[in-house]
């Protein structure tokens, strides 16, 4: 069981906006930056959001991240079929001195 909690699945139709939540604690999300990764099955994860809400070069602005207290959220607007993938949140945990991942959310574009 992951220390960072994500819903196992999410879905939306093309053009819709979907949000994926990530819940942690004061020792991880509450005191460190949150990162989000996108993983298309069969490929390595790709950095989507860093430092809570920043996008690496090349990531569309349809993707946005936010953080409040011990929770974070990834929002995808203008949903497209190519957004169908697994999404993971992650953060460093100061108490464990471990990098933690959420359990992953499988996004389906209907």
Residue written as tokens 């569309």? 60
**Contact track, other proteins, 8-37, x by CB under 8 A:** -----------------------xxx-x-x
Element (H, E) at 76: strand 71-76
Q: Token digits for 53?
A: 């809400």
- Among 10-18, 19-27, 70-78, 88-96, the segment contacting other proteins (CB under 8 A): 88-96
Of 96 and 110, nearer to other proteins (C-beta) is 96
Element (H, E) at 87: strand 85-93
Number of H helices, E strands in the chain: 0, 9
| Residue ranges that bind other proteins, judged by CB under 8 A | 2, 31-33, 35, 37, 39, 44-47, 50-51, 56, 88, 90, 92, 96-104
């Amino acid at each position: 069981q992951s220390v960072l909690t994500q819903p196992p699945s999410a879905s939306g139709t093309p053009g819709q906006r979907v949000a994926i939540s990530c819940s942690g604690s004061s020792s991880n999300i509450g005191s460190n930056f949150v990162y989000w990764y996108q993983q298309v099955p069969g490929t390595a994860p790709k950095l989507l959001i860093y430092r809570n809400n920043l996008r690496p070069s090349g990531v569309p602005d349809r993707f946005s991240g936010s953080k409040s207290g011990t929770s974070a959220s990834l929002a995808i607007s203008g949903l497209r079929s190519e957004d169908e993938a697994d999404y993971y949140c992650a953060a460093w945990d100061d108490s464990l001195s471990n990098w933690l991942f959420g359990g992953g959310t499988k996004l389906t574009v209907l």
